[in-house]
Structure 1
């Protein structure tokens, strides 16, 4: 019986509390046009083939002795595949590679943190062996109706000081670059 009286005593108090809280809450505040949205809708000439937005290139094992003699490796080809190209929107594409630059070899990629190897950098070039420095827009490459393939090469190069002092350190390495496509 005491439980029922106690429960009845709390009910009026709870209703009074809820009513007093709702009276203390401020009313709705409304301002006119205080949220604006902007953007830029573009028509791109092509789409990157699914899977090519995150490319991985694995180099073969490499001897530091090879770099002491030759300073760099032969370029290893890789491609970016574009699909659904509409040349009425754009008939060419440029590519810009960006990433952390090697301090001894400007224009080449530095190794990512966690790499055990030292004294090397990663370079990028066209299929015709023309250097593609980081953060520099490539020459336009022609697009085809439908699908197009843009080809590049990557290579490993020894840093001049590491070659001269023969201090290239062996171990696993990794470098990261971001490519940006533009339709001029």
Structure 2
């Protein structure tokens, strides 16, 4: 019992350095997004299958492969437009296009463009033109394509083999 009183007395004599008032401040802003990204749009895969290298020597790129980013539960009172920014490693030979993940360009790069009306290219790492939103579900129709690098076409040096390229996208509501 004496020992208990000894420890209690000792802790009462210790400085209160262990309890500093207001040493952490947390702040932020809670915002409401105008739309929700559909779960079907959270991981998009484009499969171009087998592409014959000789095809690129005649025409520099493939036709666009359609895909969509679907936004649901849109509320235009919170925002009536959106932009999409695709992020990834940009091609040196074809600025604005995405290079394969392995770093070996194979002489190709991947592009993205709009799929409505006259297609507009969407440059990598830059916001897209504005997409108008309506209440409810909105589909941002896009296309991906493979394009050969001009030097690889001129030298006929496209490298055969599998390729994978990965980009992430960010939706902003300006």
Q: If the length of structure 1 is used for normalisation, what is the TM-score?
A: 0.82
Aligned mates of 1:99, 1:40 — CA distance in 2: 28
Aligned mates of 1:121, 1:76 — CA distance in 2: 14
Counterparts in 2 of 1:74-113, with a 5 A limit?
74-113=63-102
Where does the alignment leave 5 or more consecutive residues of structure 1 unmatched? Answer: 1-15
Per the alignment, residue 145 of structure 2 pairs with: 155
Distance 1:101 1:114, change over 3 A: closer
Deviations 1:113-169 (A, max 9, x none): 176x71100011111321111122111111121111001111000011111111101
Higher helix share: 1
Aligned mates of 1:107, 1:46 — CA distance in 2: 27
Aligned mates of 1:129, 1:155 — CA distance in 2: 12
Aligned mates of 2:39, 2:112 — CA distance in 1: 23
- 1:92 CA drift (Å): 1.2
Per the alignment, residue 61 of structure 1 pairs with: 50
Superposed CA RMSD in Å reads 2.0
Point out the structure with max Rg over C-alpha. 1
Moved over 6 A (4+): none
Q: How many residues align?
A: 163
Q: If the length of structure 2 is used for normalisation, what is the TM-score?
A: 0.86
